[in-house]
Amino acid sequence: MTERRKEERYVVPELYRKYVTFKIRDGSSEFVPAELHDFSLNGVKIRTPHGLSVDSTLECLIGVPKSLTKEIPLTVRIKYCTKDEPAGNYLSGVEIILTGERIWLDLFSKVHDFIKERIGDIF
């Protein structure tokens, strides 16, 4: 398969997924947690306990509570959703179609880089 991404995708290692929050609002008024696997400035891969409809649009929040006091609001479109057999969860690729505050998303990527470089010292 040919890689179509134009920018680098940052993997969120399992070791510090607990320090990064990702929440989706899927048809209800409440945001529910999802697990962030990787991200770029244009898309993310998440794991959820239930499937998400391809081409649906969702509101999301991403944050690093111990480093940033602000959660970054995103609007995303589901590009694919597949069952993750061993765990019984679903992996979804989502495209970021809108963020009201791009500067905060850029800052999130910088915080991610810092955590990645210092993970052995911090955690």
Task: Give the torsion through C-alpha atoms of 77, 18, 9, 61, to 10 deg.
Answer: 30
Task: Give me the CATH number covering residue 97.
Answer: 2.40.10.220
Residue 15 located in a structural domain: yes
The predicted structure's pLDDT at residue 29: 79
Return d(Cα 95, Cα 14) in angstroms, integer. Answer: 22
Instruction: Please give the residue range of the domain that contains residue 89.
Output: 10-116
Residue type, 5: R
Q: How many domains does the chain contain in total?
A: 1
Q: Assess whether pLDDT exceeds 50 at residue 118.
A: yes
Residue 80: inside a domain? yes
Is 99 a domain residue?
A: yes
Considering 10-14, 60-64, 65-69, the range whose residues carry the highest mean pLDDT is 60-64
Asked if residue 68 has pLDDT above 90, the reply is no
122: in domain: no
Q: pLDDT digit string (tens) for 4-51?
A: 556 677 777 777 777 788 899 977 778 999 998 888 778 889 999 999
**91 is a domain residue:** yes
Residue 3 lies in a domain: no
